Amino acid sequence: MTSARFGRLAGFAILASLASAGVQAQTLSGTSGASASSQLDISGVAPSGCVISTPNTGATSNASLSAGPGAAEVTVLQLVDPNSAVPLPANITLQFPVICNGAHVLTITARDGALVLQQSAPPPGPGFRNSLVYQIQADWVGQSVSASSADAPLQINSANAATGDLNVNIQIPGGGEPLEAGTYTDQLIVNLHPAS
């Protein structure tokens, strides 16, 4: 048995077997037109799997992307108005090259459900907040789903194999109550796996 990897999540194996009678050379003396035959069965298995690659950047506004293998970081260039601490709008579309060779499921989860102030701090003072809910939209295999980060996960089910760009849009709203000072973060987990 020989095996080789297909992307990061799928494998391929090929198996060849000879018929139980074996393969043998035959010499029949004194017989004209004699022949011999043997059967060779070849079979292979392509296990189901999905590969998602480092994203490219689509449309952006007040945001940037730095990406490496297996991870990417979106930075909001100016989270708040410096004079009022009121959030400024930001928008970025990420284009993930994807291949799934069978039925599969896409889920996108927001770890904290919002951009959350990371420093240990008391509850926000009157008129301030320390978290910011944002919008997520995913477009894949002709389907589009969207939800607020607080309502994630988003899910798309596909009954077929597919390849192409998975588009994920992150939209941070402007306005509302000002934010307390500090670093705000969240983590989006984009997961593609074969349907069970």
Closest to 192 in 3D by CA, of 123, 140, 149, 121: 140
Cis peptide before 153 (omega within 30 of 0): yes
Dihedral sign (CA 98, 100, 106, 111): negative
> pTM to 2 decimals?
0.78
- Strand-pairing partners, residue 189, are 109
Task: Quote the pLDDT of residue 24.
Answer: 45
Closest to 138 in 3D by CA, of 123, 149, 125: 149
What contacts 174, CB < 8 A, 6 or more positions away?
86, 87, 88, 89
CATH number for the region 50-194 comes to 2.60.40
Q: Would you kindly state where each structural domain of the chain is located, as residue ranges? A: 2-45, 50-194
What contacts 58, CB < 8 A, 6 or more positions away?
92, 93, 94, 95, 167, 169
Alpha-carbon gap, residue 69 to 60, rounded angstroms = 21
Q: Mind listing the pLDDT tens digit of every residue in the chain (196 residues)?
A: 333 333 333 332 323 232 333 444 444 455 567 889 999 999 999 999 999 999 999 999 999 999 888 789 999 999 999 999 999 999 999 999 999 999 999 999 999 999 999 986 677 889 999 999 999 999 999 999 999 999 989 999 999 999 999 999 999 999 999 999 999 999 999 999 999 8
Task: Quote the pLDDT of residue 32.
Answer: 66
Amino acid letter, residue 151: D
